[in-house]
Amino acid sequence: MSTQLVGHPNEPRPRGSGAFRPISAYPTIGNAAHCGTCFSSSKRAKQALFFGIFALLASALLAQQPDAILKHAIALHQAGDLDAAIKAYRDYLAVEPDSLQARSNLGAALARAGRYDEAIAEYNAGLQKSPDNPALLMNLGLAYYKTGRHAEAAARFERAVTLSPQFKDQVTLLLAACYNNLGRYKDAVALLAPLEKDKAGDAGFDYLYGTALIGDGQEGGAAVINRILSHGDSAEAYLLRGTLELTAHDRDAARADLEKAVALNARLPGAHARLGELLLVLGESERARVAFTQELALDPDEFTSNLNMGVLAKEDQAYVEARRYLERALRTRPNDPGVRYQMANVDLATGNLEPARQSLETLTKESPDFAEAHATLATVYYRMNRSADGDRERAISQKLMDQRDALPAGTKPR
Amino acid sequence: MKRWFAGAAVCAAVYALWASVGRAQPEARRPHFTDIASKSAFTYKTENNFTGRKYFPQTMCGGVAAFDFDNDGRMDLFFTNGAKLPEMEKTDPRFYNCLLHNRGDGTFEDVTAHAGLLGKDLGFSFGVAAGDYDNDGHEDLFICNAGRNTLYHNNGDGTFTDVTERSGITKPKDLLSVAAAWFDYDNDGKLDLIVSNYTVWTPQTDKVCAINGQEYYCHPKIYPSVADRLYHNLGNGRFEDVTDSAGFGKDLGKGMGIAIADFNRDGYMDVFVANDTVRNFLFINQKNGTFKESGYEWGVAYDENGNAHSSMGADAKDFDNDGFPDLFYNNLKGQIWGLFRNMGGKYMSYVSGMSHVSRLSEHSSGWSNGFIDYNNDGWKDLYSSNGDIDDMGQVSRQPDTLFENVDGKEFRDVSNQVGADFSHAGFQRGSAFVDLNNDGFQDLVVTSLFEKPRILMNSADNGNHWLLVNTIGRRSNRDGIGAVMKLTTGSGRTLYNHVTTSDGFMSSSDKRVHFGLGAEKTIESLEIRWPSGVVQTLKRVKADQILTVTEAAK
């Protein structure tokens, strides 16, 4: 699981949100809870006796002084002794299971320790008791963000801002990063455009804004790239420009820029993935595979790499592996039609016709212009001996593809 | 002393056992190909009349047919050629088609003029299909053109007569026909004809596409799709266009290569048509004179991601020897060549990835292609003639590829290990598989834009055994096209193949059915299922021979 911040390295973290920190500080208490770790004896019998006595004393103390345990936990947390703090918070919650503060702090300590799944469980437990707690929502959003669950992160950030507008400044860039990762470029542009006047020139902002503009196919992406480049050679700028060129099918230029981006900063999120996409287009699937693998080593949840590795694995008929990648991609973008379509193709290829039918029917209902999904659904119906349904889907797919073919041919050689 | 010898023998046996277990078995010597075209005096070069202006059909030039036009037992060669543009006429000899007579000594004689096959009155020629449509024992030729298509009747005296007009094989003049295949779709004993059509085009309607002032060959999307055409052989040299009534009229594509096989083993031949940038067609024979386009059902219309590619050549043979013909089409660089495994005659499974074909092929733009057991090991390998559409990229000229079949499961690239002449880089287009010297090993003939064709002789030096079967139909069509063969070797290994001349792109191959037998010298049985329904079984057939089999009466 990633402990890296997903998105741009310069992406600002929320300021003063108390993210992954204790909600409040309490004076430290005596060291009773830790005395066990100080004790040592060469004789086992004495040890056992002492532990027994100690356990009795400790439980008595715990029953009498829960607040002291919480204070001690917070002190440990603040001192950076996360394992001990987590244990202390759990001890406290065993006595006071409804303590929101302890639950939130436990989540924060777990998150700081990189144990995001446990943190998410604690935050969610806290939110069950207090669904509209903005601080808990913020922390939960951050934990989701760090685990690449951008859709869930975005939903929590949005809710937190609705409940407490003062969080808006802290969360805007994170939310925009989520939108970019989810392919919701239009939402990212809407969020960032009003800030351009004040934040233009800030590398993190420019990168997010440029990504959103280019992703949404809007003009203005090139201007943002130039703005970044005006500060000197920048991997981010080359990545953005390469992405722009890739979109415009200018493959030679895209290759030059994307390779430069990777050379300047091999850890730049998204750079290997874009290069991998280009290499696939160029028919260099082995190199593309390497690029996607490099991206996933930096961020195991990166969407494009998971999707393409899933497709490559599917083509190799390594269906278990394909599912693993595609499921990971779906975790990042839960409703992505492309990934769901590929999952349905895996189902079809492995003879699981019923799940393939169900997902393709849903997909074509949601995206009626998805010609390939209609075509595959036709094949599924034919395999299920539902000829009439197959004929219908085939006709729909054919019509859609004919419409696509009727579009202007473009200006590039094939 | 005696005991010492006994001990030594045991040691030797143990060592031999260890050696055989511990080391990989040495691979059989790999045959290689040598181009012998330069030994013969002929002037044919594939001439598409590229002079700066890029006319759409120029990318497709140089069809080739391997057939024995004079019944001397040696396969001869025929090549199609382009025309002057925009006139679209074969205005001078560089555009003429070409018939090469196989002298049997490694050289070929240009007999085109004598045979009446120069094609002076034809337009820009593309594909060619050889077949004895009138069952007179002489192989005839059909040529696809921009302009009128042409049926040449073999007169049996070394000459041909253009019988197009009286045959009834007509088409609109602006319909661009690319490839054709002979087959007997209704099993009435007469060869019918399927023609793949690409679009409607004339030099006057040709589109100009350019970027930064540099012209390039336009994307096919700007030209309309059209239907392929089916002509039913009525006998007496007459054909009827049954395109619409047989079910071919409503599916519009950009037809390229044609593969003929009985995919569902129901005794009737089916038709696969590779389409350029449009979904591929699989016409399944309904056994009543009609076909149902079943590409979706069979899973071959698109690749497994639902994408249509620039499918070019096509061939259908059984690469895994399971008794069902599989499918192979190629396409352009950056796309994935399609290899499909026939799943018991019910549908096709896309195996390009698992078989490594996708990775091996991604750098090549393929045109003509096919299954060829080049090393006679009993596993059909994959061949493709390659070269870019255009001359704009850095690697436009490309070498051909040969992917060796490993136990019917996967393929490995041996292109660089079969001789320098094989690796020639060019704008390769047509290709035919043929045993030119009757040594039981498949040779290759390949055309390339602006060049003489290569006549690539197989070195045939790995010691593997073989059988060539020449079928003569009686109730079935005389060529025996469509006859399905099952060969069982002495060890019980089963191999499958069928009679067809259609494979690849614009090309027509040796009609004799080829079997590589590996190290086995004995054939336990050879079962032939004729299109008429007659099943004929030959027992204990000698290997390493050209076996002529005449269809049994019953």
Of A135, A110, A133, the residue nearest A121 (C-alpha): A110
Least confident of A36-50, A182-196, B530-544: A36-50
Buried b (16+ CB within 10 A) or exposed e, B339-372: bbbbeeeebbbbbbbbbbbbbbbbebbbbbbbbb
The answer to whether A285 and A279 are in contact (CB under 8 A) is yes
A342 to each of A331, A338, A393, B357, how far by Cα in Å?
14, 6, 18, 21
The DSSP symbol for B84 reads: B
> pLDDT value at position A35?
29
Chain A positions touching B350 (Cβ under 8 A) are 349
Which long-range contacts link B392-396 to residues 24+ away (Cβ below 8 Å)?
B392/A413, B392/B214, B392/B216, B395/B363, B396/B427
Chain B positions touching A394 (Cβ under 8 A) are 296
Token duo for residue A289: 């595979």
Stronger pLDDT, A39 or B376, i.e. the higher one: B376
In whole angstroms, what is the distance from residue B396 CA to residue B126 CA? 21
The answer to whether B233 and B192 are in contact (CB under 8 A) is yes
State how far residue A344 is from chain B, nearest Cα, in angstroms.
10
The answer to whether B375 and B430 are in contact (CB under 8 A) is no
Token duo for residue A393: 């889907």
Inter-chain CB proximity B362 and A394 less than 8 Å: no
The answer to whether B199 and B224 are in contact (CB under 8 A) is yes
Backbone angles phi, psi at B329, to 5 degrees: -130, 150
The answer to whether B347 and A383 are in contact (CB under 8 A) is yes
The answer to whether B199 and B161 are in contact (CB under 8 A) is no
Residues of chain A contacting B, Cβ within 8 Å: 281-286, 311-312, 314-317, 341-342, 345, 349, 371-373, 375-376, 378-379, 382-383, 390, 394, 401, 405, 407, 409-414
> pLDDT value at position A18?
34
Residue B6: its H or E element: helix B2-22
A225 to each of A185, A262, A319, how far by Cα in Å?
17, 16, 40
Cross-strand partners of B239: B233
The answer to whether B439 and B466 are in contact (CB under 8 A) is no
Under DSSP, is residue B327 helix (H, G, I), strand (E, B) or coil? strand
Token duo for residue A102: 């302890």
Is A13's pLDDT higher than 60? no
Backbone angles phi, psi at B347, to 5 degrees: -160, 175
Is A394's pLDDT higher than 60? yes
The DSSP symbol for B529 reads: E
Residue of B nearest to A344 (CA): B305
Inter-chain CB proximity B353 and A316 less than 8 Å: yes
The answer to whether A397 and A374 are in contact (CB under 8 A) is yes
The DSSP symbol for B398 reads: B
**Backbone region of residue B370 per phi and psi (left: phi > 0; alpha: psi in -120 to 50; beta: other values):** left
pLDDT band at A56 (very low <50, low <70, confident <90, very high): low
The model's pLDDT over A222-245, given as tens digits with 9 standing for 90+, comes to 888 888 878 778 898 899 888 888
> pLDDT value at position B3?
39
Inter-chain CB proximity B359 and A371 less than 8 Å: no
The answer to whether B315 and B366 are in contact (CB under 8 A) is no
Is A44's pLDDT higher than 70? no
Backbone angles phi, psi at B270, to 5 degrees: -110, 170
Cross-strand partners of B488: B494, B525
- Given the DSSP bridges, would you call strands B64-67 and B507-508 parallel, antiparallel or unpaired? parallel
Residue A238: burial class (beta carbons within 10 Å; 0-12, 13-18, 19+): buried
- Give the closest of A286, A317, A341 to B359, CB-based: A286
Chain A positions touching B299 (Cβ under 8 A) are 379
Quickly list H helices, B168-313. 295-298
Residue of B nearest to A310 (CA): B305
- Give the closest of B305, B334, B390 to A282, CB-based: B334
Parts of chain B with a pLDDT under 70: 1-28, 393-394
A172-188 average pLDDT score: 89
In whole angstroms, what is the distance from residue A329 CA to residue A306 CA? 5
A271-280 average pLDDT score: 94
User: Tokens 């929502």 label which residue?
Assistant: A137
The answer to whether B452 and B37 are in contact (CB under 8 A) is yes
> pLDDT value at position A358?
97
In whole angstroms, what is the distance from residue A213 CA to residue A217 CA? 6
Under DSSP, is residue B476 helix (H, G, I), strand (E, B) or coil? coil
A253-263 average pLDDT score: 93
The answer to whether A322 and A341 are in contact (CB under 8 A) is no
- Give the closest of A379, A382, A414 to B219, CB-based: A414
Q: What is the ipTM of this complex?
A: 0.79
In whole angstroms, what is the distance from residue B293 CA to residue B51 CA? 40
The answer to whether A305 and A276 are in contact (CB under 8 A) is yes
Inter-chain CB proximity A414 and B389 less than 8 Å: yes
What residue type is A286 in one-letter code?
Answer: E
Q: Which residues contact B103 (CB under 8 A, 6 or more apart)?
A: B74, B109
Chain A positions touching B54 (Cβ under 8 A) are none
> pLDDT value at position A5?
23
The model's pLDDT over B331-346, given as tens digits with 9 standing for 90+, comes to 998 888 999 999 999 9
- Give the closest of B219, B301, B335 to A410, CB-based: B219
Token duo for residue B403: 């992917």
Residue B528: burial class (beta carbons within 10 Å; 0-12, 13-18, 19+): buried
Residues in chain B: 554
The answer to whether B397 and B364 are in contact (CB under 8 A) is no
Backbone angles phi, psi at B231, to 5 degrees: -115, 125
Of A406, A343, A411, A348, the residue nearest A379 (C-alpha): A348
- Give the closest of B306, B333, B362 to A285, CB-based: B362
Under DSSP, is residue B426 helix (H, G, I), strand (E, B) or coil? strand
> pLDDT value at position A285?
84
Per DSSP, chain B holds a count of helices (H) and strands (E) of 5, 40
In whole angstroms, what is the distance from residue A331 CA to residue A339 CA? 10
Under DSSP, is residue B171 helix (H, G, I), strand (E, B) or coil? coil
Interface test with B, best of A342, A384, A411, A414 (most B CBs within 10 A): A414
State how far residue A259 is from chain B, nearest Cα, in angstroms.
19
Residue B242: its H or E element: none
The three state secondary structure string of chain A is CCCCCCCCCCCCCCCCCCCCCCCCCCCCCCCHHHHHHHCCCCCHHHHHHHHHHHHHHHHHHHHHCHHHHHHHHHHHHHHCCHHHHHHHHHHHHHHCCCCHHHHHHHHHHHHHCCCHHHHHHHHHHHHHHCCCCHHHHHHHHHHHHHCCCHHHHHHHHHHHHHHCHHHHHHHHHHHHHHHHHHCCHHHHHHHHHHHHHHHCCCHHHHHHHHHHHHHCCCCCHHHHHHHHHCCCCCHHHHHHHHHHHHHCCCHHHHHHHHHHHHHHCCCCCCHHHHHHHHHHHCCCHHHHHHHHHHHHHHCCCCHHHHHHHHHHHHHCCCHHHHHHHHHHHHHHCCCCHHHHHHHHHHHHHCCCHHHHHHHHHHHHHHCCCCHHHHHHHHHHHHHCCCHHHHHHHHHHHHHHHHHHHCCCCCCCCC
The DSSP symbol for B420 reads: T
Inter-chain CB proximity B302 and A375 less than 8 Å: yes
What residue type is B531 in one-letter code?
Answer: P
Under DSSP, is residue B551 helix (H, G, I), strand (E, B) or coil? coil
Token duo for residue A138: 């913020």
> pLDDT value at position A17?
33
Q: Which residues contact A295 (CB under 8 A, 6 or more apart)?
A: A269, A270, A271, A272, A273, A276, A302, A304, A305
In whole angstroms, what is the distance from residue B310 CA to residue B531 CA? 33
- Give the closest of A283, A371, A372 to B333, CB-based: A283
Inter-chain CB proximity A284 and B362 less than 8 Å: yes
Inter-chain CB proximity B332 and A315 less than 8 Å: no
